[in-house]
Amino acid sequence: MGTGVELQSIPDDAATQAFVSTLRGGAIQQGDIHYDVARKVYNAMIDRKPRLIVSCANVADVIRCVNFARDQGLAVAVRGGGHSVPGFGTCDDGLVIDLSGMKGIRVDPQRRVARFEAGCTWGDADHATHAFGLAAPGGIISSTGISGLTLGGGFGYLSRQYGLSCDNVVSMDVVTADGAYLSASGSENPDLFWALRGGGGNFGVVTSFEFRLHPVSTVYAGPVFYPLERSAEALRLYRDFMKTAPRALSAFFAFLIVPPGPPFPEHLHMKTLCGVMCVYCGDLSKGEDAVRPLLEFGPPAFAHVGPVPYPAVQSMFDPLLPAGLHHYWKADFVNDLTDEIIAEHVQRGPEIPTVNSAMHIYPFGGAVQDVARNDTAFTYRDAKYVHIIAAVSPDPAPMPQYRDWARNYWSALHPHSSGGSYVNFLMEEGEDRINASYQENYQRLAQIKRKYDPGNLFHINQNIKPAAW
């Protein structure tokens, strides 16, 4: 019997009993006291019932899980931070490999690298590296897992300056479908390394990531909101602003409902506005000048910009998005914010249904484009923006109506899009959408899939089918 979260009951069959007895971490099955908590993922719309959830303590547990699932013909779901909105961190009647207990971190400030175990969230990573005035580019909500985010590409406030999260990975340790433990880097298994940088969880279970770090400590950042009547002008300002913005500046555009609490003034609570969240990660003394055009337009209904420790910016929106809300997302890349696209946003953005929901336009460009579209699995290097329409609610009852808002908004924008989406923002939208999101890299991914996972053991993801030839 393992340590950690102990098995509450003995599995019926001898094979599962023998497997569980070899684990250092815990295993939970249906009927156990912790089962209903352990099977939950971040998106409350997902309600799946795995046969077994293994909370892995180390690489040995991961290898045992992969071998057991393959030999028993069990479906495998891999869970890092559990944030996958389509719920790929769980499954019905299969084995969940839960990595969230594997949180080891070693920062090497001299070499400016850090190794993170696969269960770390961005909050864990930022906390550890901030002590040395360093950071790796990650996502904008601190509870998101480094694993799923990085494997799909990963972008955030530092990406225009330092690239996608996957661009900053130096090496990864991976357990492949045959139970082998490999290192993937520029010099070891480079085909696997290529595929893991954008190709998602298709190629094995990554047990740790070595990241390159950058000098980021205090940034100049915060939100600037404008009244809805100015939203067309604000979007045009944003478009022009981003065209000439320095790489050190990242800013996303949003339609939002103002949260009912500080730092927002009471007269704005629960009002629908539009706005820009900006982060300047360069020389602090230049931050104010960098964001000035956003402050001079309007006047803003609210602005709260200044020097902020990087981990505080990274967790600024966490309270709006706790685990357990109901999520439905639609997204696409776009090459420009044309007047036609702006007109759709101005019409549909103000109908945002809840304070937790969002329409965000995230900028790409800068260092993201320094990497060629075929240098990693992540293809859309030339996209200027990705927009996401996220219907989010604590209450499931109105979700069909909120989902329609997201779907209709997305459908109106889709003809103006680049055709594909960011894989980490896709729901279960079918093979054509996955194909469109990888474009010409899909075929190479399918070949690498055939080499490392010919039986498609890892299929609970934005699945790339093994090539037939």
Which residues of the shown chain bind ligand FAD in the complex (CB under 6 A)?
42, 77-85, 88-89, 99, 118, 139-141, 144-145, 147-149, 151-152, 154-156, 200-201, 205-206, 321, 424, 460-461
Report residue 426 as tokens. 């896709």
State the nearest-atom distance from the C-beta of 409 to ligand FAD, in Å.
19
Compute the distance between CA of residue 41 and CA of residue 28 in angstroms, rounded to an integer.
15
CA 181 to chain centre: 25
Q: Which is nearer to ligand FAD, 137 or 300 (CB)?
A: 137
Of the pair 118, 341, the CB lying nearest ligand FAD is at 118
Q: How far is the CB of 121 from ligand FAD (least distance, A)?
A: 7
C-alpha 383/C-alpha 260 separation (Å) is 35
- Can you tell me the distance from the alpha carbon of 398 to that of 413, in angstroms, rounded to the nearest whole number? 23
C-beta of residue 131 within 8 angstroms of C-beta of residue 88: no
Nearer to ligand FAD, 254 or 342 (CB): 254
Q: Which is nearer to ligand FAD, 140 or 377 (CB)?
A: 140
In this complex, which beta carbon is closest to ligand FAD, that of residue 99 or of residue 279?
A: 99
Whose Cβ is closer to ligand FAD: residue 69's or residue 342's?
69
Quick one: tokens of 375?
A: 């240098």
Task: Compute φ and ψ for 370, nearest 5 degrees.
Answer: -75, -20
CA distances from 155 to 22, 129, 166 (A): 38, 18, 9
Residues facing residue 208 across a β-bridge: 117, 173
In the complex, minimum distance from the CB of residue 12 to ligand FAD, in angstroms, rounded to a whole number = 27
Helix axes 287-296, 231-244, angle to 10 degrees: 150
For residue 267, the 8-state DSSP code is: G
Residue with tokens 């479906």: 75
Nearer to ligand FAD, 297 or 385 (CB): 385
Tokens for 263? 């730092």
CB of 119 to ligand FAD, least distance (A): 8
Which CA distances in Å does 152 have to 87, 215, 344, 439?
A: 15, 24, 28, 14
Angle subtended at Cα 125 by Cα 124 and Cα 129, rounded to the nearest 5 degrees: 120
Shortest Cβ distance from residue 382 to ligand FAD (Å)? 17
In this complex, which beta carbon is closest to ligand FAD, that of residue 139 or of residue 363? 139
Residue 335 tokens read as: 């090459």
The CB-of-17 to ligand FAD minimum distance in angstroms stands at 27
Q: How far is residue 390's CA from residue 159's CA, in Å, rounded to a whole number?
A: 21
Q: Which is nearer to ligand FAD, 120 or 248 (CB)?
A: 120
Report the DSSP beta bridge partners of residue 171: 185, 210
Sign of CA dihedral 366, 372, 375, 381: positive
CB of 308 or CB of 412, closer to ligand FAD: 308
Quote the least distance from Cβ 102 to ligand FAD, whole Å. 9
Burial class of residue 24, CB neighbours in 10 A (0-12, 13-18, 19+): middle
Minimum distance of ligand FAD from residue 97's CB (angstroms):
8
The distance of closest approach from Cβ of residue 215 to ligand FAD in the complex, given in angstroms and rounded to an integer, is: 21
Question: Is residue 78 classed as helix, strand or coil in its secondary structure?
Answer: strand
Q: How far is the CB of 423 from ligand FAD (least distance, A)?
A: 9
Residue nearest to ligand FAD (CB): 148
Q: Which residue has the tokens 């474009």?
A: 439
